Amino acid sequence: MDEEYTDFTGLSIFDVYGVKRVPLEGEFNAAILAERLVEEWIPYYECHKCGRFDYCKFVERKPHNPTRAFDIKCGVLNRRFASLSRRHSIYFPG
């Protein structure tokens, strides 16, 4: 089944800090829009400072210091955006 694409030309979203507007140019489906939101809204985290560090499957531990982790975009939030994009379609009435 082909997903519908919606033209977002001329629209914008706030950046991760809510300071500036980031233009959305072109057509997006739900999955592509979710990827764009992850790119714009999920900052890099220091996983070892997160409360889920001990059991999170997305943590990328440093090989020579396993109590520290590489800075990554949060896998939990990333997975949530992907899940939302699969469950919800984009609909903007004309």
Q: What is the pLDDT of residues 8-63, one digit of tens each?
A: 999 999 988 889 999 999 998 877 888 888 888 888 888 888 899 999 999 999 99
pLDDT for residue 28 = 86
| Residue 73 DSSP SS3 | strand
Instruction: Name the pairing type of β-strands 27-28 and 11-14.
Output: unpaired
Cα separation, 44 vs 50, whole angstroms: 12
